[in-house]
Structure 1
Amino acid sequence: MTSHRDPISSTSRTRLRRKPDRGRFDRASIERILDEGFVCHVGVVDVQTPRVIPTCYGRAADLLYLHGSTGSTLLRALAAGTPLCVTVTLVDGLVLARTQRTHSVNYRSVVIYGQARLVSDPNEKARGLAAIVEHVVPGRAADVRPPNRRELAETHVLAIGIDEASAKVRSGPPLDGLEDLELPVWAGELPLRTVADEPVPDPSTPAVLRAGPPVYVRDYRRPGG
């Protein structure tokens, strides 16, 4: 495992060929995006039949943890060492320009390449699953029952090192050409953010618990949000 202070590897796969000025290759930028997001898309690389799935993840220092059923074809392939790609995207706003062609989206994204390690140690599996729950809802993992032996046996937990990665960021107003700036059209940014609505209790929740959800549910917000 690498040190938390080790630099991110710059490779031909992480080099940005289009809009390279939007690239970020420092670990702090990459981890801020990973920490604010919680859904990634995971796909296999260099295979005849590529597959991509959305899934939740958790970050613990220099590792991402993923989980899924031991019956998952994709997870079995990744556990066997098939090269993978993980992407995380945060949408920060819509960029409304004066021409159709120059409309855009403000975003922050991370792409990670590598190979997954199948977590076999039961203690690390439990920590990995707790890390995913805690990443999605900070404070939740300690409140709920951890997985039992049967559930651990039915679940694949994969660890991916954040070693070969890059971030890409688009921010700011539309980039209209000088010849279009005088068009009589409103142009600008429409910021977007993830906001939690009122919690809805499960009908099976005892009445004494329904009226008062935990603080981390009542005041839920993403890091940086």
Structure 2
Amino acid sequence: MKVVLITGGAKRLGQAMAERFAAEGWQVCVHYHHSASDAANLAARLPQARSYGLDLLAADADFAGLIARVVADCGRLDCVVNSAALFEEDGFFELSPAAFDRQLAVNFRAPLMLAAAFGQWLRQQDARGSVVNILDQKLFNLNPDYFSYTLSKLALKESIRLQAMAAAPYLRVNGVAPGLTLLSGEQTADNFARAHRMTALGEGTRPQSVAEAVHFLAEAVQITGQVLTVDDGQHLLPLARDVMFAVEA
């Protein structure tokens, strides 16, 4: 049975991906930080699933240790999905070093370090595996809102080809860039409903569609260094501001 580790897998998109992998016969390992009870509840209802805690923001976060714990429990690891993210609002003129560093640490440093630790384990075993990084459609439709978050995700996106080159042939590295999928932060239900439909296809992005794309890349053994945009065509409609603010304008 193949094994997948999903960071931030206890809720929201992470949960949808965990459910999809489980339905496809994978053993699911759910990473969490603050959501221990959600992770435990999800793991309890998925076949042979397990949950693992780690603070991705910590300067001494033991990424290699997390990989080792999963392998010790499950006997193998085939895919890591970097879904955990920190989404804090700021603008260029409000940049704070502390806030910038937090988002860079969670959204870029942690996925990079976890991928490197996984790739190192695969190389030692002479095995093959894959990483799928969760990005954002706004990287293909830039606006300056959520400035630090956007920069951190841009860094992750631009690193994917470099990671794929450096890690081959042991590790395939790809990305999925979802559109607006779930209500976020202080967004109202009415704002979300209107913003969700602001796409080329007019339906909005479903969590299940994102999960389907992630699972596809995990299984697609000859695809590496690619980013798949799953956003109902949201990136085809340029906006001067983030879609949440565009709706309010």
Q: What is the TM-score when the length of structure 1 is the normalising length?
A: 0.22
- Structure with the bigger RCO (C-alpha within 8 Å, sep 6+) is 1
Q: Which has the higher helix share?
A: 2
Larger radius of gyration: 1
Q: What is the TM-score when the length of structure 2 is the normalising length?
A: 0.20
Q: Which has the higher strand share?
A: 1
